[in-house]
Amino acid sequence: MAATSRTGASAPVYLGVDIGTSGARAIAVDRTGRTLATADRPYSLHTPAPGHVEQDPNDWIAGAMATITEVCASGAFDPADVAGIGVDGQSWACVPVDETGAVLARTPIWMDMRAQSICDETLSRVPAATILGVAGNRLSPSYSTAKMLWFERHRPDVFARTRWFLQCNSVVVMALTGVASQEHSQGYGWHFIDVATGGVDHALAAALGCDPSRVPEAVEPTAVVGGVTPAVARATGLVAGTPVVAGGLDAACGTLGAGVFRPGQTQEQGGQAGGMSIALDAPVADERLILSRHVVPGSWLLQGGTVAGSASLAWLARVAGAAELAASEHSGRGLYEEVSALAATVGPGAEGLVFLPYLSGERSPLWDADARGAFVGLHLGTGRGHLYRAVMEGVAMALRHNLEVALAAGAGVTELLAIGGATRSPLWMQIKADVTGLPVVVTANPDATPLGAAMLAAIGTGGGTVDDLVGDWVQRSAGYVPDPDTRATYDRLYAVYAGLYPALAPSMHALADLSRTGTENAL
């Protein structure tokens, strides 16, 4: 029989910490997956030049420590009952740290496109097929590989002092434990890591010009890396020695937290980025998509990633007058209702207005760092409702584009299990169902991503198996079925959407050249 702590919570307790793009979030759950306490801290993006998008990893660490401290001080559980901590983080960071874990510079994040010329130069020497055959992914400035090369070329002072280049979750894990780590689900950021085996391909590393000794050897996401240090314990209220697992990619943890781990199950991501993750039992590489290992051993994820998902809506809210929504996805939850109410005043197709959500270039399936966002079809009758509806529909069109490529590559998808801030908008969920033609299911716990991180902590410390935890912790709360009439309208709109990028790409590229003149080497 499970123990009950002095607070009344069912012990043991597990913490999940999510280091997202807009902020940190921590949750504490009991052995049944019931949420006991949550906390959030926003932080900033830095955009010093066009195509450059950075964050300060010290902000991630501070956010993690603050949210952990808050949940520990909530009184909802006894910190002595915390049996494990899991940390998830955004993809494709490249954080230079010294041997003590001190951060040496801000990191380009997944939205950053500054290393396009480095990728072009590398691909002139190393065949794209060779890279794809090992990494399962194309070489792109979004990934960690190009960022490591950028640091070597443009910040040699930082590169010379760097002992480790770490991923987002690894930086926080090192701050908690003092131990440098890397885990398999984030390994796909490094093209010299074989996505099928998780091992280093030294020949490809040499061809790329990368030093794999600057990346810790990868372990399973559920592996206990170390224990909370005494200093962290004093600062947060945790007990020194509390086990911390390696954690994982935020998209993979969100996929697990949504209950997706069997082949064909698909998570739909409605956070700052948009996209989907399809569970596979064997790696399937397609240069138009993203392939990673799942946080579940023996599983992979075929992913499609849109750079600006909810970020597109936040951008529009900022310029159109709803500043609170733009401030943070973690705050202003009610404004999804406000924006949805405006969008609902306009019918499907937004009266002939289409939005291309390429606000920071685009990842899959376009892989175009110079793609640019656009509204097409503006007229004198266009109002805020039209703009909001078009943004929601444009993000859904990008999701459909990725799904169609995945289906062509041989993946099977039956339904979308949705997570992220966009699930706060029933209208947006219905739009996604109608645009894709797939049922959309929203899970009951809105914190699927940190919940997945907490699951890793539970698995790694003997608290249950994947099957046990998904069965006990994940419940469904709402479902959206495609409407055939609306679907027909969206089929027509999608045909227009799909034709716009090829038609506008030359103009987009010319405008991108104008915007970045003289800025490529900016810090």
Position 334 confidence tier, pLDDT thresholds 50, 70, 90: low
The segment with the largest mean pLDDT, out of 165-174, 254-263, 303-312, is: 165-174
- 8-state DSSP, 264: T
Q: Round the CA-based radius of gyration of the chain to a whole number and report it.
A: 22
Position 322 confidence tier, pLDDT thresholds 50, 70, 90: low
DSSP assignment string, 97-162 = E-TT--B-S-EE-TT--TTHHHHHHHHTTS-HHHHHHHHSS---TTSHHHHHHHHHHH-HHHHHH-
pLDDT tens, position by position, 256-280: 999 999 988 999 988 778 889 999 9
- Predicted TM-score (pTM) of the model is 0.86
pLDDT tens, position by position, 116-166: 999 999 999 999 999 999 999 999 999 999 999 999 999 999 999 999 999
Listed residue (479, 492, 388) closest to 441, CA to CA: 479
Position 520 confidence tier, pLDDT thresholds 50, 70, 90: very low
Q: Are 222 and 419 in contact (CB under 8 A)?
A: no
* Rounded Cα–Cα distance for residues 64 and 44 (Å): 14
Instruction: Give residue for tokens 């004093």.
Output: 234
Q: Are 138 and 145 in contact (CB under 8 A)?
A: no
Set out the domains of the chain in order of their start, with CATH numbers. 13-246 (3.30.420.40), 310-436+482-512 (3.30.420.40)
Position 330 confidence tier, pLDDT thresholds 50, 70, 90: very low
Position 7 confidence tier, pLDDT thresholds 50, 70, 90: low
- 8-state DSSP, 509: H
Listed residue (466, 138, 136) closest to 283, CA to CA: 136
